[in-house]
A and B are shown apart, each in its own frame.
Chain A
């Protein structure tokens, strides 16, 4: 047995519960933004990830990320079915790491569903995220959290590359394979229930405390700094988004407040335990402003990224990952200085490489996977099912009786 720290253990277990709660939060965040005939389809896609990805994680996922293979590319099968996890060295039980990281694996593929809203066949979606977890998330998580990108010197405190850039790029790849919603650009598709979206935003914000402040796997000063950074980035992300939105389109909206807060949370994710002082305020504001401006990308490219996964998660992830190269501060993390703290360009270069590697890897593998599934079983519902809505066509249910 190893000497366990009960404080650290308690905080990591608590954080696992917080991160778990983010996935239903995300479901409501997205669910409010789709039309009422698709809200159950959206909730189901997200909640289903809690079932499928948790199972995959227990069987093989954890082992392939944290099994000590001696190489930086992929783990091994030492922890298949979570066997022998108790042998893991550390001041928290190995099983606490299993739980905490499991919730990350669950929410990452769920992030994709915002881009592909209203048109995925449920069965094909299940196959897609199952294989995506194995072929894309697991390698990326290994490289970033426990492998060669980490060894190279790239920093990612809680998943700016492995989670947000990864899911954002994957969302783009799937959108390119399946195409736009029928009526995209001609039929109005406004959100059907923004109160649900606000509820989801609150849950995400709350859960993100565990996502970031738990990622040091310790209940210490870094965790406290990460918690405050996370909250401040959400706060300033909201302010940044609302300011530009108000200037450009005349009103500060509730959906804008929600989107800006999430953009700030995404951007602070890689930075949370590595920065301090004014950095979270700058990172949050930058994310709010830049993610709002990035909404124009999908119009220009005619990508029906329905709920703006590219603008919020991909761009937000890139903003955070690169800004860490400027704002990392040894006084906070004891290891690395960014450009603004006398560390030169080294870290910024590593951050850029990590973002690029994860982005390219995710795009190529996700695109191939989506193409194969589309060819084998069809990724997209047929026209009748799409017009009827996912709730009835995929699940034989209605969200709202009348």
Chain B
């Protein structure tokens, strides 16, 4: 089992969610995050004083899938989250040792 984490542009969340549902991903967890990458930040001006805002708002989403699904999921996220402009985000994949469904106690791929 693999944990797929993606940091994407916030306004792309609905597109990514639809793309993942379309390939039968059964669940994702979403958080609002801030950070910087190669996109950098932006400046805001208050009463003539400029402020450099380094941390850009992003959405982080996580889903655990069977190893055989990883390429499909990564492909779906990449296609649906892309704008072609800097700041589209990143996807990374990590090994997952164990997954438990709290309601039934099922483990492993049965719990996904």
Contact = CB atoms under 8 A, between A and B. Distances in A.
A79 interface: no
Contacts of A191: 46
B45 A188 contact: no
Count class of interface residues, chain A: 10 to 19
B54 to A, nearest CB: 9
A191 B53 CA distance: 13
Q: Which of B45, B51, B52 gathers most chain A CB within 10 Å? A: B45
A179 interface: no
A375 interface: no
Interface string B36-60: 0000000011111111110000000
A259 B47 contact: yes
B48 A188 contact: no
Contact of B45 (A253, A259, A292, A308): A253
Interface stretch (A138-146, A225-233, A244-252): A244-252
Contacts, number: 28
A188 B47 contact: no
A303 to B, nearest CB: 14
A295 B52 CA distance: 19
Per DSSP, chain B at the interface is strand
Contacts of B53: 188, 190
A255 B44 contact: no
Contacts of A284: none
Contact of B44 (A190, A245, A296, A308): A190
Contacts of A249: 45, 48, 50
A190 B50 CA distance: 9
A256 B44 contact: no
A295 B48 contact: yes
Contact of B46 (A190, A248, A250, A292): A190
Contacts of A245: 48
A252 to B, nearest CB: 10
B52 to A, nearest CB: 7
Interface of A: 188, 190-191, 245, 248-251, 253, 255-256, 259, 292, 295-296, 308
The 4 closest A-B pairs by CB, nearest first: A188-B51, A190-B51, A249-B45, A295-B48
